[in-house]
Amino acid sequence: MRSTIVDIKNRTGLSLATISKYLNGGNVLPENKAKIDEAVKALNYQVNENARSLVTNQTRIMGVVVFSVENLFVGTLLRYLGEILRKHGYGMMICDSNNNIEAEKQNIRSMVQKNVDGIVIMPVSEDVEIMKPAENAGIPYICLDRTFPDSDCDSVLVNNRETTRHLIKILLRRRHTRIAILASRNEYTGKERLESFQETLRDAGITVPPEYIVLEDLHSISAGYHGMQRLLSLKTRPTAVFLSNYEVLMGAFMAVNESEFRCPDDLSLVAFDNMFADVVRPRITVGVQPMEELAARTVELLLMRTEEKGQGVETPRQHIVLPVVIQENESVREM
């Protein structure tokens, strides 16, 4: 038979009020804490989370809505998020939007119905109205890696534009002027990196031919592979290519390896993300994202918001932008 709080009372001699207070996160005398801990262990007592959530109005579950669980970048962030949340006594509920806005809407509604304490979202949609169900329910949310343009929601991002500018300037310092890009036309990160690519070259007085801007709907290995094939087939080939994420990098590198051309002798490469950069040769010059810090700062902000909700206060929105480390390797040659 499952142990109850009454069994703990009988074993410790403490009042139900004291035991309940401790089990629900309250402070009790050290000697009472020791008695309750001993009883919980001896009786194999399991907290009834449904009952506790009715009392505390907390489920101790954070929802995480991601654009695709197939994505290695997403999977890495989920690992860190789960580890950090667990240390704070929270579980994690994951919903995959599969790059579909309607699925994302349903995921948000599901999180609200499950009464999660907070939501981390890596959004597909660019419309912050998708979060209305969470706002109406008073559930705080944090945007991670991506955000809703022109919104004031809490967010934890990396500096996409500055990192892209830095990578392109590495090519410019090596006297490259025929520079192409493989990127996503729809995703937040792809758009940010594309705009910075264009601005940096425009500021340098370089006109980019239309055929050097190769865009697909989403970042993918396929997009990198077929995009690089297109660039390599041009009569006037670029001397360098900016690859806007790790999947694009892998696909592009596969296409180069299958061709008659070699990196960096025939084609210099720089890339955003290093998920695969260390397993290809030559090693690619990349921007390394601070994955663990992204997750840690997100959890820190989300816990602050849940605490504020309990206290009935709210501080101004925070927009945290983390720097990306540039690793210069062997994939860029001097022109």
Three state DSSP letters for 19-88: HHHHHCCCCCCHHHHHHHHHHHHHHCCCCCHHHHHHHHCCCCEEEEEECCCCCHHHHHHHHHHHHHHHHC
pLDDT of residue 304: 93
- Whether 299 and 233 map to the same domain: the answer is no
Same domain, 93 and 240: no
pLDDT of residue 57: 52
Digit-coded pLDDT (tens) for 53-103: 444 456 689 999 999 999 999 999 999 999 999 998 899 999 999 999 999
Residue 54, pLDDT score: 42
Q: 192: helix, coil or strand?
A: helix
- Helix (H/G/I), strand (E/B), else coil: 260: coil
Instruction: Classify 97 as helix, strand or coil.
Output: coil
Q: What is the reported pLDDT for 25?
A: 64
Put the strands of the sheet holding 91-96 in their side by side order.
Answer: 91-96, 61-66, 118-121, 141-144, 155-158, 319-322
Positive or negative: CA dihedral 99, 103, 106, 111: negative
Place of tokens 């705009």: 195
Both 154 and 164 in one domain: the answer is no
Residue 151 and residue 127 share a domain: yes
- pLDDT for 99 equals 95
Identity (one letter) of the amino acid at 67?
Answer: F
**Which residues share a beta bridge with 184?**
216
Q: Are residues 116 and 34 in the same domain?
A: no
Q: Are 315 and 194 members of one domain?
A: no
pLDDT tens figures, 102-145: 999 999 999 999 999 999 999 999 999 999 999 999 999 999 99
Q: Which helix (H) or strand (E) holds 242?
A: strand 240-243
In a domain, 32, yes or no: yes
What are the average pLDDT values for consecutive 10-residue runs of the chain, which has 335 residues? 78 84 77 88 71 55 95 95 93 95 96 94 96 94 95 95 98 97 95 97 97 95 96 97 95 95 96 80 93 96 88 86 95 93
Listing DSSP states for 273-329 in one string gives --TTGGGSSSPPEEEEP-HHHHHHHHHHHHHHHHHHHHHT--PPP-EEEE--EEE--
Q: What is the CATH number of the domain that holds 21?
A: 1.10.260
Q: Determine contact, residues 294/156, Cβ cutoff 8 Å.
A: yes
* 266 and 175 fall within a common domain: yes
CA distance 334 to 171: 9
Tell me: do 47 and 140 sit in the same domain. Answer: no
Domain assignment present for 96: yes
User: Do the domain assignments include residue 333?
Assistant: no
In this structure, the answer to whether residues 110 and 169 fall within a common structural domain is no
Model-wide pTM > 0.85: no
Residue 331: inside a domain:
no
- Domain containing 147 equals 61-158+292-323
Assign residue 173 a region: left if phi > 0, alpha if psi is -120 to 50, beta otherwise?
A: alpha
Whether 168 and 284 share a structural domain? yes
Assess whether 183 and 264 both reside in one domain: yes
Same-domain pairing of 65 and 129: yes
User: How far is the C-alpha of 177 from the C-alpha of 180, rounded, in Å?
Assistant: 9
CATH of the domain at 189: 3.40.50.2300
Residues 284 and 329: beta-carbon distance below 8 Å: yes
334 lies in some domain? no
In-domain check, residue 224: yes
Bridge partners, 96 (sequence order) = 66
State how beta strands 268-272 and 118-121 pair.
Answer: unpaired
* Total structural domains within the chain: 3
